């Protein structure tokens, strides 16, 4: 068990904050004598808003957990979904000082954000409305929030806002945190988009597909163009179905038997394979061949240390 003075060093010198999550997690653990469940911590981060608690459980496991365990500030027991501080909290005076320091870091972060923007950060209710409008899916790749954490992305990034926090979208001037400038993207798509792209992925997929057709206008073979776009649209729909079936498969509250969900997902995979010219028998033969090479199936090989 580490001495609590090492926690002070981390809070003063080792903690890099892009949000209030780290000091909020540490403060909660200090107030709970060093231990807390994942559910209790996510309630703290979500402000006890039950409608978005699942979202904040993913946030908790994605950033605070990874960072704080890397610095050995907390440990996580997967079996019991329990977080623990790695510090001796016997000294009540130092523990109280650590709480005050966490509260100070949270206040400083809020004040810093308030100075940078004339309108406060999007509230949790705004995040919920954006996620609800996206049907809980990434608006670029379509992956479900049950599979991957979903971020709230600024279509026009902050670095394009004026000194007062406003951007110009066509003839409309809006604040950077206006809901018209927010979209739902998964962690991977949001990081790939970065802060130079202003693409609005909320437009209907059919419109995106039509715009992709412009890439083929240099061809003289109109039939080839039509066939290519139709094939792209079919594959797009099949991938959407695969994502939906995957979300159903891992949904702990699903009503259908698991064998039924597995069958539906396999059917989606077979349909995708057929668009690439593979028959169902070809795919099954490849599965058996790979199984023989690997020496049989072992479920244990799919377990990854550190998974939630």
204-238: per-residue pLDDT in tens? Answer: 543 443 343 333 333 444 444 444 445 666 777 77
| pLDDT over 80 at 119, yes or no | no
Q: Evaluate whether residue 249 is within a structural domain.
A: yes
| pLDDT tens-digit series, residues 107-117 | 888 777 665 54
Contact between 87 and 6 under an 8 Å Cβ cutoff? The reply is yes
Lowest mean pLDDT of 9-13, 27-31, 60-64, 247-251, name the range. 247-251
Indicate the average pLDDT of the chain. Answer: 77
Residue that finishes a domain, picked among 202, 237, 264: 202
Does residue 308 sit within a domain?
Answer: no
Asked if residue 245 is part of any domain, the answer here is yes
112 and 39 share one domain: yes
The pTM (predicted TM-score) of the whole model is 0.42
Domain that holds residue 195: 124-202
d(CA 113, CA 126): 17
Number of Cβ within a 10 Å radius of residue 106: 17
Locate 168 and state its tokens.
């110009």
What are 218's two structure tokens? 């240099």
């Amino acid at each position: 068990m580490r001495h609590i003075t090492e926690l002070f060093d981390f809070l003063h010198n080792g903690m890099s904050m892009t949000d209030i999550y780290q000091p909020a997690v540490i403060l909660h653990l200090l107030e709970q004598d060093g231990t807390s469940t994942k559910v209790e911590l996510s309630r703290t981060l979500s402000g006890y808003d039950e409608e978005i608690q699942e979202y904040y459980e993913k946030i908790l496991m994605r950033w605070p957990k990874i960072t704080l365990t890397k610095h050995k500030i907390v440990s996580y027991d997967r079996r019991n979904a329990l977080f623990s501080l790695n510090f001796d909290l016997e000294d009540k005076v130092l523990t109280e000082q650590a709480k005050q320091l966490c509260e100070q870091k949270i206040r400083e972060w809020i004040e810093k954000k308030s100075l940078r923007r004339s309108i406060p950060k999007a509230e949790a209710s705004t995040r919920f409305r954006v996620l609800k409008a996206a049907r809980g899916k990434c608006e670029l790749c379509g992956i479900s929030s049950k599979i991957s954490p979903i971020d709230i992305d600024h279509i026009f990034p902050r670095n394009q806002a004026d000194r007062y926090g406003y951007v110009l979208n066509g003839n409309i001037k809006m604040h950077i945190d206006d809901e018209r400038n927010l979209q739902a993207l998964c962690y991977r798509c949001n990081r790939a988009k970065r802060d130079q792209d202003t693409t609005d992925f909320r437009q209907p997929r059919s419109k995106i597909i039509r715009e992709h057709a412009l890439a083929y206008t240099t061809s003289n073979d109109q039939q080839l163009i039509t066939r290519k776009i139709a094939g792209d649209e079919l594959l797009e729909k099949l991938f959407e179905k695969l994502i939906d079936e995957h979300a159903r498969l891992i949904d702990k509250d699903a009503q259908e038997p698991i064998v039924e969900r597995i069958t539906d997902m396999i059917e989606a995979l077979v349909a995708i394979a057929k668009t690439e010219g593979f028959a169902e028998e070809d795919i099954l033969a490849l599965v058996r061949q790979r199984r023989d090479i690997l020496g049989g199936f072992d479920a244990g090989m799919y377990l990854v240390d550190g998974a939630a």
